[in-house]
Amino acid sequence: MPVAPAIANRLYTGMVLRNLVREARKRARLTQAALGRRAGVPQSTIARLESGARTPSTDLVERLVRAAGFEIRVRLGEPDPGTASLFHRSLGRTPAERLADAARAARFVLRGRRRIEDRERG
């Protein structure tokens, strides 16, 4: 059953915000606990946010990103037709179909990694 566009947009926005926090934390080489201490937020809040169990507010995302030593910059640009359409298309598929796609993608990545490793050895 397809997901309503409003729900899909909310899910997509939550995913983007969640990824901003995780990316900033990892770039800063911080654990969830260390980022929490810097931002004055419990580690469990960051864990729930990163896992998708909690949809963060933009204020919380900005606070966490700043605590990691980064800032969020927004600029107007042409839309990327791939990302959102892939996300929306995925929501209309069954879990089994999404799992099969993920397995194919994982095999593709592993083949690429093996080729790189073979070249480095060879």
**How do residues 65-79 score in pLDDT, each as one tens digit?**
999 999 988 888 776
Which has the closest alpha carbon to 63: 72, 75, 54?
Answer: 72
Q: What is the pLDDT of residues 15-57, one digit of tens each?
A: 788 889 999 999 999 999 999 999 999 999 999 999 888 888 8
Task: Give the C-alpha distances (Å, rounded to integers) separating 63 from 20, 21, 29.
Answer: 11, 9, 17
- The domain 5-67: what is its CATH number? 1.10.260.40
Delimit the domains of the chain by residue range. 5-67, 92-121
- Stated pTM of the model: 0.58
